[in-house]
Structure 1
Amino acid sequence: MTPFLEKVGEKYGAFTLTKKLPIDELQMVLREVRHEPTGATIFHLENSDPENVFCLSFKTWPKSSDRVPHVLEHTALCGSNNSA
């Protein structure tokens, strides 16, 4: 594989490598990358597995701490056959 963002501080387009960590137990390298225009943090896990997975998450803070969003989440999923 071609070396890609090898040194902390290195840039690729609008992205900057902020952390590089080898995980020897899993035979992979974790790269933490920051998208400069948005401030988004990206975690790239590099290994020899040909499969690819993508996950996108957003912080969605509730407007109150009354736990209603959590209750609604369970209510919505309890009626779903695809909640497993």
Structure 2
Amino acid sequence: MKWRSLMWILWPSFLIAAATSATVFALVDPLDIAIFGTIQLSRQQMYAGGFFLFWLMAALSSALSLFMAPSAPEADPLDSF
């Protein structure tokens, strides 16, 4: 995979994950969330886990969009004449 394509995936998904994390955790207290009923995580663990989960979901969305986008045709040097 080209580095440029990787950055087209990771940078927008990072920004979306940051905005989503800020919005979700402004509305939901991480200490109110219990995983499987008995597991209690600290606030910082929930913030980090939520951020990386949102980043993964946004990265998958960006990667799928890039995969489905039509590729530009390669320039043929003979077409310039």
Q: Which has the higher helix share?
A: 2
What is the TM-score of this pair, normalised by structure 2? 0.25
* Larger strand percent: 1
Question: Higher relative contact order at CA 8 Å, sep ≥6: structure 1 or structure 2?
Answer: 2
Question: Normalising by structure 1, what TM-score?
Answer: 0.25
Q: Which has the larger radius of gyration?
A: 2
